[in-house]
Structure 1
Amino acid sequence: MARHRGANTLLRDNTPFPTRQMAILALCRICEPIAFMSIFPYVYYMVGDFGIAHDEAQISVYAGMVTSAFAFAECASGVFWGRLSDRVGRKKVLLGGLFGTGLSMLLFGFAQNLPMALVARALGGLLNGNIGVLQTTVAELVTVEKHQPRAYSIMPFIWCLGTIIGASLGGILARPAISFPDTFAGTLFETYPYLLPNLVCAAVVIFGLTVGILFLEETHEDKKFEKDRGLEIGQWLLRKVWSKGTYTALTDKDASIDEMQAMLEGPGSPTYQSTSSSPTLCSSRSSIAEPPPFTLEKGSESSTVRSAFTKQVCLNIVGVGLLAFHTISLEQLIPILMSHPESTKKPELPFKFEGGFGFSTQKIGSILAVQGVLQMIAQVVVFPWVNKRIGSLRTFWITIATYPFLYVMAPYLALLPKPLRIPGIFVLLVWKVTAQSMSYPSLNMMLANAAPSKKVLGTLNGAAASSASVCRGFGPTIAGAVDSIGAGMGVSGLAWWVCAGVAATAWIPGAFMKEERRRPGFCNVDDVDDEELGLREALDDTDSDVDSIMTLTPEEDTVNSVLSK
């Protein structure tokens, strides 16, 4: 028993972080926020150019419809793409989502009326289920729990970076015949004033698609050993670039334990054939020692998928939806607060007051850019540090406990004296980005660990993505309507306080959540009980090659024996 504890410690300590595959995944991921956020700086003007709105209020309504079309369509297809990734693999679905994003951007750039713009955005949502599939891929790449905080902070960081780049591209490149008449006047871009930013975004998507085809590895445990022509071409290109003496077929710098095992077992083993950089500790050996506790057999797939939605999984999906609703509403309410003119009426505290900061669009843009930088810092520095010390569940509890107070206090910033408004906004943004940077990754990690098996993880992440998408579709619409009602009543904080109520309801599912450890099917060596270790010990006698590389010295065996007692 002690011997296997030492062996598991050796496995854990020698499992590398899948740096290169995470980097490749990040290059594929950054294309989507760039494309998604590029429309926001000009969608208001685009709808105005359609000539269907009679006043500014109608323009805002139609612009909201355009931005919500993507979320609603994504909700309708999220579960489908998640389940498809469980069948055909993650890589194919991810690359298909990128292709759908590029096609959507091209159609949107040529849109000259509202129906075409809505169809283009909806098509992008229907063809792209990458949010859930990406979370699944990260969960399969990172097989050791100590690596999870670092891994789950990377994709939100990439999203923040992409939103900054996308918003900048959309603002600079839209209507180029007006902004740069010497270059673009009389060209195609004068007829289609919003085509240029979409062409640039489509080019970025093509780049991400190419990187994915050539270098992204499959992580689905049943599909990762299949022949991948794109990956073979990518490795051929790498051999041409680097000399034979410096190129290695391993995609991470340090070989993981299962790769060393494969070298000893020889080319006949499935592990030897894998080129995966993810340290899949349950390759050929664990398929004997640890049969998956959760399988998808023919004829019983539907019942198996239904049973995958355990209590903890459902609580996580509900939590994702509630979090998405009030955080996307917050994204809309902050610019409204900053753009509303200052009130000349005397406030009737505590609730009846009006007005905002009266900031210019340029100032609002600068503040939102600073917000993106703050969020990247919080995502990479604050979240891993906090999560490592208190765990995912406590991190999530802290954030959902503070959200309602954030919403209650925010509208009162308009009552601050002018010298204190910028510091007040800064405090609000730091609070906001810190809470978002800790809440979403914590939920994603808990959902991955609560999944009964990797075989249904794509389906579960697809359901969570659909829950988030439908709430993101309704959030801005409801928040905008409530804000209009509040403005008519002279209560500018009404929408904020409604969001505070929604955020408080997230306490209910949060109170019943539990932080589960990764199941044996995920091959996590950190949490294996004594019975499982005993089973491994009995079966490992037949595996002499692997056993030989894990043999402990007498000193290690003595120390582990004492610790086990």
Structure 2
Amino acid sequence: MSPSQTQRRRVQQHSSAFPTRQLFVLALCRICEPIAFMSIFPYVYYMISGYHITNDEKQIALYAGMVTSAFAFAEFSTGVMWGRLSDKVGRKPILLMGLAGTGVSMIVFGFSPNLTTALIARALGGLLNGNIGVLQTTVAEVVTVESHQARAYSIMPFVWCLGSIIGSGLGGTLADPVHNYPGYFEHGSLFDKFPYLLPNLVCAGVVIFGLVIGILFLEETHEDFKDRRDYGLDVGDWILEFFRPTQLVGKAGETLALFEDVPPGYSSGVSSPAMNPILVGELPNEAQPVSAQTVATGRRDAAVSNAFTWQVCLNIVGYGILAYHTISAEQLLPVLFSLPESEETPKLPFQFSGGFALPTKVIGFILSAQGFIQMFATLFVFPYVNRKIGSLATFRLVVLSYPILYFMVPYVTLVSTTFRMPCIYFVLVWKVAAQALSYPSLAIMLANAAPSKKVLGTLNGVAAAAASLCRAFGPTLSGLVQSLGLSVGVLGLPWWANSFVALIGAVLSLRMVEEKRRYTKNEEANLESEDLPFLDADVLENVYAEESRH
């Protein structure tokens, strides 16, 4: 009788191959969120204007900022809770809850008749979504080999960039369809009453797709819940049987077909159970007798009170500082592009004002190019650099350059028009490459610094909450400093303030140390046997038989 897909997953858990399948499923779940999150930005100004609260453009911009910040503040308030809950009930339920919360939030936002409802809808999305920290935890648990970390941690930021581009396109294209597509949408219809419902419905549909994919194919990664019965996966396995029939062939020399995550050099060959300590010498944890002392030790290791080591705290503070100055730069740069050129003679070194006076089409092209550059840097540059010099060196290289970058940006406005655009693109590539290298490096360092995987959800939740809080305050504070600077004729004031914050993060990075990934007992045995040229069919049958008894 052929083994079940569940039994095959048990074999895969003992494999040290790159987890292509699970990272692909995670990517499909992850891409839904940036699509939904970024889709509101093309039309949020017009949406607020349509509520007729005020005719003052500055007030409209303020309310639009409130709508954006509502999500970040709400996400901050519950980030730690979702992280801790994922340590107690598993990663998959929390990830699915986050997707469901995003879908509900988008539908409520699309039906929002006033600003209050819009703010509640965005806050609801943040309250119900703790996926930033939990997703980082899931990636850390899926990747069982340290050499795979750089490649794996580059995938999710790449997916976010791709989803951001798609989401912005959907929001701009589908907003207010009655006026934009009068041949297809009639006046007096539902989409006339709620002109921004259509993009939210489409995004909610995308989220539902991701939710279904997660239910059917996303595997639990928490070590205490890996072998819990998952009826969603059972249904997914049943569906897969119609598209990719697999069969275990035994002693007659038939073929042994496993998932793609099993190392490609494995095949059924010479029978030598002694050569595979994973499958013979060590059954899964729950099949082994566990002493009270071992359980007590595991509980002490997993205690949250012991999880916040000095290095963990440095990483979390580093997350907050990085989030603050990068999101502030994201806000300040488009304003700098839009400000009119100054006709006054600059009084160097600090007294000058005026921007680039770029048209909106050029600004849109520059921001779109930024997304593509970041995708390339995340997917190709980061894994290469990280493998060459390590996570800590990569992180330090970037954060030590941030203060210089922010300090010099205002002076680009003083460059002659002939060299202005090359300088702008130079700054853009520097900023985007720095983000692409810094965030994944810090995520790897936090995962490696965690004293136990059982508290990794909590730690990532705290880090995500710190980042969310700083992202909520960053644009507001930077905007105030920018207003102050422009009022006194000092264009660079917000950038130099940002440079000072980045300098604090750079100094902090000098106190960080790079720790190696901590392996569980099964993973250590896995590494010892990863060079074996075969998986014997008889041994696999024994494992399947053992699994069926538990």
TM-score tier by shorter-chain length is: 0.7 to 0.9
Q: 1:101 to 1:81 in 2, by over 3 A?
A: same
Change beyond 3 A, Cα 1:285–1:49: same
Report the alpha carbon displacement of residue 507 of structure 1 after superposing the two structures with TM: 2.3
- In 2, Cα distance between equivalents of 1:522 and 1:325: 38
SS at 1:183 equivalent: coil
User: Does 179-188 or 156-165 show the bigger shift?
Assistant: 179-188
Measure how far apart 1:53 and its partner are. Answer: 2.4
Q: Which residue of 1 aligns with 2:238?
A: 236
Q: More displaced, 356-365 or 250-259?
A: 250-259
> Which residue is equivalent to 2:442?
443
Who is 1:227 aligned against?
229
Quote the Cα distance in structure 2 between the aligned partners of 1:136 and 1:244.
31
Q: Distance in 1 between matches of 2:426 and 2:244?
A: 49
- For residues 220 and 396 of structure 1, what CA distance do their matches in structure 2 show? 28
1:321 aligned residue:
320
Q: Residues 226-282 of structure 1, C-alpha deviation per residue, up to 9 Å, x if partnerless?
A: 11110000110111233456999854342599999xx999xxxx989xxxxxxx997
Tell me the amino acid that sits aligned with residue 260 of structure 2: D
CA distance 1:435–1:41, shift in 2 (3 Å): same
**What is the alpha-carbon distance in structure 1 between the residues aligned to residue 272 and residue 123 of structure 2?**
51
Structure 2: which amino acid aligns with 1:316?
Answer: N
What is the deviation of 1:360? 2.0
Q: CA 1:245/1:395 → structure 2, altered by over 3 Å: closer, same or farther?
A: same
**Matched residue SS, 1:480:** helix
The alignment status of 1:211 with 2:210, answered yes or no, reads no
Change (3 A) 1:242 1:84: same
Q: Distance in 2 between matches of 1:281 and 1:321?
A: 41
Partner of 1:173: 174
**1:191 paired to 2:193:** yes
Matched to 1:152, the amino acid is Y
Secondary structure at the counterpart of residue 390 of structure 2: helix
Tell me the residue number matched to 2:533.
none
Q: What amino acid is aligned across from residue 116 of structure 1 in structure 2? A: T
CA deviations on 1:282-314 (whole Å, 9 max, x unpaired) are: 7569997996896237xx97xx21111111100
1:173–1:380 distance in 2 versus 1, CA, 3 Å: same
Q: Distance in 1 between matches of 2:499 and 2:289?
A: 48
Range 243-252 or range 309-318, more displaced: 243-252
Which secondary structure state, in structure 1, belongs to the residue aligned with residue 379 of structure 2? helix
C-alpha displacement of 1:527: 13
The separation in 1 between residues aligned to 2:289 and 2:455, in whole angstroms, is 17
Q: CA deviation at 1:43?
A: 1.0
CA deviation after TM superposition for structure 1 residue 374, in Å: 0.3
Deviations 1:175-234 (A, max 9, x none): 122222222231211111111111111010011001000111011111110111100001
- Seen in structure 2, the aligned counterparts of structure 1 residues 104 and 17 have a Cα distance that, compared at 3 Å, is same
The answer to whether 1:362 aligns with 2:370 is no
Report the CA distance between 1:519 and its aligned residue: 2.2
User: What is the deviation of 1:341?
Assistant: 1.4
- Amino acid aligned to 2:428: L
**Matches of 1:497 and 1:144 in 2, distance apart?**
41
Indicate the residue corresponding to 1:23 in structure 2: 24
- Alignment match, 2:381: 382
Larger deviation: 512-521 or 60-69?
512-521
How far apart are 1:137 and its partner, in Å? 0.3
Structure 2 unaligned spans of 5+: 1-11, 249-254, 529-538, 544-550
The verdict on how the C-alpha distance between 1:233 and 1:482 changes in structure 2, with shifts beyond 3 A counting, is: same
Q: Which residue of 1 aligns with 2:62?
A: 61
Two-structure CA RMSD over aligned residues (Å): 3.2
* Structure 2 residue matching 1:506: 3-state secondary structure: helix
1:252 to 245, 260, 273: 260
Q: 1:423 to 1:257 in 2, by over 3 A?
A: same
Contact 2:216 2:234 in 1 (8 A): yes
| TM-score normalised by the chain length of structure 1 | 0.83
- Aligned to 2:364, the other structure's residue is in SS state helix
Matches within 5 A, 1:38-437: 38-186=39-187, 187-243=189-245, 250-254=258-262, 295-296=298-299, 304-437=303-436
Q: Is the 8 A contact 1:293 1:521 kept in 2?
A: no
* Residues 450, 518 of structure 1: 8 Å contact kept: yes
Change (3 A) 1:256 1:141: farther
Distance in 2 between residues matched to 1:146 and 1:479, nearest whole Å? 39
Q: Deviations over 1:350-408 (max 9, x none)?
A: 11111111122222111111100000110011111111111111111111100011111
- Check the 8 A contact 2:18/2:261 in 1, yes or no: no
Q: Which runs of 5+ in 1 are unaligned?
A: 1-10, 273-279, 534-544, 550-565
- Residues 19 and 261 in structure 2, CA contact (< 8 A), matched pair in contact too: no
Q: Distance in 2 between matches of 1:418 and 1:73?
A: 43
Q: Residue 7 of structure 2 aligns with which residue? A: none
C-alpha separation between the residues in 2 aligned to 1:119 and 1:249?
A: 51
Assess if the C-alpha contact under 8 Å between 1:293 and 1:453 holds in 2: no
TM-score, structure 2 normalization: 0.86
Percent of pairs identical after alignment? Answer: 57
- Structure 1 position 349, deviation (Å): 1.5
Amino acid at match of 2:338: S
Q: Tell me the alpha carbon deviations over residues 393-440 of structure 1, each in whole angstroms, 9 at most, x when there is no partner.
A: 111111110001111111122222223222111111110111101110
Compared CA separation, residues 88 and 251, structure 1 to 2 (3 A)? farther
Q: In the alignment, is the contact (CA less than 8 A) between 2:14 and 2:522 conserved in 1?
A: no
Asked if 2 retains the 8 angstrom alpha-carbon contact of 1:136 and 1:448, the reply is yes
Residue pair 1:145, 1:526 contacting (<8 A) in 2 also? no
Secondary structure at the aligned position of 2:184 is classed as helix
**2:123 counterpart letter in structure 1:** A
Equivalent pair of 1:79/1:459 in contact (CA under 8 Å): yes
Question: Counterpart of 2:222 in structure 1: which amino acid?
Answer: H
Query: CA contact under 8 A between 1:393 and 1:442: conserved in structure 2?
Result: yes
